[in-house]
A = this chain, B = another copy of it.
Amino acid sequence: MTPIPSPADKFSFGLWTVGYNGTDPFGGPTRPALDVVHVVERLAELGAWGLTFHDDDLFPFGSSEQERRGQVDRLQRALAETGLVVPMVTTNLFSAPVFKDGGFTSNDRSVRRFALRKVIRQIDLAAELGAETLVMWGGREGAEYDHGKDIRAALARYREAVNLLAQYVVDQRYALRFAIEPKPNEPRGDILLPTVGHALAFIDTLERPELFGVNPEFGHEQMTGLNFVAAIQQALEAGKLFHIDLNGQRGIKYDQDLVFGHADLYQAFALVDLLEFGGPDGGRAYTGPRHFDYKPSRTEDETGVWDSARANMQNYLLLRERAAAFRADPEVQEAMAQAKVDELRVPTLNPGEGYADLLADETAWERFDAGAHFGARGYGFVRLQQLATLHLLGAR
């Protein structure tokens, strides 16, 4: 009855997600780390399609080149045996003490240079593994206080860094694009490029904006109380949804990284509806990886880890079914019409109309009956929301 995931669904997981050992600010590990080969095998069994990782997930910070190569080779053999792919990699510029004030925007210039080298090394690995996307989450790029960080300078340094990386990728003829992942805070008090909007605006200032998009994370946007699905739509409209991180967050608090679908179900429903059926002719609006960036709760042992991995995919697929039924329901279509949802897609101006024509149109102003909207012409938004509720609950 519940749908079964398959690689065609393009579900991917971070190595650091199922591999999370339970450490949090008030306690150490509650379970051992998982070996990457084991992770690849189990994910493949569960129907996942891809694995992603930070450099430091696979080989510890400061590994020798031999250690690094050994781990990469082990990963590649596991990929070959299971068919799993590595669609995305990312660089850890936040865990080691050297990055305590950030990587690309550390006040210490030598740290910034070191960070660039670390990312270039990871770009080479991305290319080697056939990854299409390099995600950049700048978790330490930020500040706790106002006067210790010149934000304009930080933006300039961030720009300098990613322009250099883009040049490198172009020159190496790597088929790699960059996806910036916004987050408002934690671990810094305030993080640079805190929302999808700020990241989109920043991208427009780059030398090669076409190589840069966003990797919005469900929970990160909700940590500000913003509407995640609205942010995704602005990213889609700008052609900038390069990757997406799915998980769950219960409101404005610390970063929870719950299973996708275990928190705000309405946003999850609207998101899946958008990604799967919001494209041209009701097709996919986004065809890239459905990437889960979550943490199995600290209370769980390894059984719970895999239960939680499965739950992410199951919820996505269930919501896809609910969304399909919602869209096919004639009463929904009728309510959509009453709410004039389609009418917003019609340009406000007639074809070829300019302001002069509009100023000459008395129906737009002189003879417009603004008062007719009092006590009438309701949009029926509540009815439409109730139909969505019934579909979400499987009650239609």
Contact = CB atoms under 8 A, between A and B. Distances in A.
A198 B237 contact: no
Interface stretch (A37-45, A83-91, A125-133, A153-161): A153-161
B237 A379 contact: no
Contacts of A264: 264
Contacts of A26: 94-95, 139-140, 186-187
A135 interface: no
Question: Which of A168, A307, A361 lies at the interface centre, i.e. has the most chain B CB atoms within 10 A of its CB?
Answer: A307
A148 interface: yes
A277 to B, nearest CB: 12
A281 interface: no
Chain copies in the assembled complex:
4
Interface in A53-110: 61-62, 94-101, 104-110
A10 interface: no
Contact of A117 (B62, B105, B307, B359): B359
Contact of A379 (B107, B270, B311): B107
24 contacts: A27-B100, A30-B100, A32-B375, A98-B370, A106-B344, A108-B377, A113-B368, A116-B358, A145-B262, A148-B385, A150-B233, A150-B341, A153-B344, A161-B348, A189-B250, A197-B200, A224-B226, A263-B266, A302-B378, A304-B381, A307-B383, A308-B383, A311-B389, A392-B393
A145 B148 CA distance: 30
B157 A348 contact: yes
A298 B97 CA distance: 9
Contacts of A187: 24-27, 298
Contact-residue bracket for chain A: 35 or more
B379 A299 contact: yes
A238 interface: yes
Contacts of A336: 147
A341 B147 contact: yes
Contacts of A254: 25, 185-186, 253-255
A112 interface: yes
A386 interface: yes
A374 B29 contact: yes
Nearest to A159: B237
A328 interface: no
A196 B384 CA distance: 31
Given A225-B225, A346-B109, A355-B167, A377 B301 contact: yes
Nearest to A223: B253
Interface string A302-344: 1110011001001100110010001000000000100111011
A276 interface: no
Interface in A176-197: 184-187, 189-190, 192-197
Given A114-B370, A157-B344, A386-B307, A25 B23 contact: yes
Contact of A349 (B164, B227, B370): B164
Given A157-B344, A252-B251, A348-B116, A145 B385 contact: yes
A380 B110 contact: no
A62 to B, nearest CB: 7
